[in-house]
Structure 1
Amino acid sequence: MYTDITAREELATLVVTGPDRPGLASTVTSLIASHEGNIVSLDQHTTNPAGGDFFQRVVFHRPGLAAAAPDIRSDLEATLKPYSMSSYFRQQRVLKRMPILVSKSAHCLVDLLWRHRRGELPVTIPLVISNHTAVADDVRSFGIPFFHVPSHGPDKAEAECRLLEILKGNADFIVLARYMQILSEPFLEELDVPVINIHHSFLPAFIGAAPYRKAKERGVKLVGATSHYVTKDLDEGPIIEQNVTRVDHTMSAADMQAKGAYVEREVLSRAVKLHAEDRVIRHGNQTVVFD
């Protein structure tokens, strides 16, 4: 993929989805060519060539992209409307805003902050919110604003109201980097942006508290992590990325947890990068991931 910073200023990503039919791929590529765009990469998938769903991701270069973008958007809408297709168009120079929510465990948070500082994640991180203060110094050492929003008792309404005040207008998507609070359905609806979570087990196994203790008791040989989109159904949203690592009988539950933490960091950072680069398309409770 293009890494030249100057060239990225004139790169765009286009994602197209809808009912499959002959000629869709050429329709999209012809539209790009008509706007003097040069295709850099193209991925596509259909669930069934006879009446299935079509998914396409195109990255193209267009000199003077910022000035041409409004006309491209307008032409996209007019061209795709007869096909009942939907599209998403983004200039790559416009980075997505990614606030992070976290509780006490800092390993996923710090990994994201470190990768961001190194330029490995094409996002901006406007702020970090925690229901504890344990990670405040870590966050501030990266020069990122930290907000403490405590959440006590079964009624989370007050905390969620404060979260909405902070997040609204500051987020294109949100990452839960081991944020150990359940987000309510009304909160997710009001927020209205994708939320990515990391689950410290290979879903759907060992859901709930103390997963590594349960893994140890069962004598498992693999532990892992799952990153998925958050929905109203706890831990059942569309999966973005997963991975595992081997463990054995000599390891304690704490040893397994330490190994699992490495996988959690890797899986979450990869899911974030995939989403930030528009490589993940939600399809019901599944995802199409163009890696």
Structure 2
Amino acid sequence: MQVKETLWTLEKELSIAPSLEIIFRLKSNTQTDGIYDALFPLLHEFDAFPFSDEKCITIISHDTDQGGWPGALSMELWLTVMNEMKAASRRKIRKKQTVFKVCREETLTQNYIDGISVSLSQNTFPDQACVISLQISTSRENAWQHLQRIRDNVIASMDECFFWASLGYKFVMNPFARISADQMKASCMRYLGVDLHDVVCIQNGWWWNKLRTVNWQTTLNTVDVTRDGWDATPHIVSYQTGYYPSVCDRNNVHLDNLTAINEYKIMAEKLSSWILNTDEMGWSEKWNAEIYARWARRWDEVK
């Protein structure tokens, strides 16, 4: 059910919302302090943190600790979490993701909008290449302009470690209800233009050299670090499927929706060499690898 121009509720624990994800890739975890020092103030400057919203829960989780704080995010807590992220990220071997997340309750969908998440992938050996993911979802009236502004300024300031950015629709799962993963599985092959949601960021490690999928706007640093080296000058290109984003509902036979589906399919074909193609990933504990593999190749099913 569409509850707003850019907001859907599919089930009690599952929504669709405008979302931005930015992936940074690092040669090793020794660079993480500098990334956080640049990223957190930028996000603060461009109003990405919900400092005044009482319907929030702030969460941090890493190898040695986890905690949650209900209520509005304060500057004191913001600084505490940033320092905690730095300390956790300095560990050369991390068996689980390092995650900072602010979840905001959305009354229109009776679910959570995963307001902002900053996470670092796990490492199984020292000096392993690692990934920092920034994810933002929003139900603002000016959602697309807000997310574009954040994306463009973050990339401009941090282009040396930028790999890809995805702007468009994404599933939003309730992080406190496990049933939402099943609901997303049931919906992901209908709403082809909607990206998957990784609540605890467990899949971060896959994205250091591959895209997950295309979206309405996809921005990509085409430098191949395995060939060109980690210090190569970034070469950033942008792609857009059409003037408006779309959920690409396969059950909608209106011309504008069918046109959007075709545009997304063309984009997926154009960027196919960059998109992860694997038969080994189970997206969540209840998904087998065949389900994710079919979703990753879903545009091939569209005729």
**Fold match, TM over 0.5?**
no
TM-score grouping bracket, smaller chain normalisation: 0.3 to 0.5
TM-score (normalised: structure 1)? 0.35
Where relative contact order (Cα < 8 A, 6+ residues apart) is larger, the structure is 2
TM-score (normalised: structure 2)? 0.34
Q: Report the structure number with the largest CA radius of gyration.
A: 1
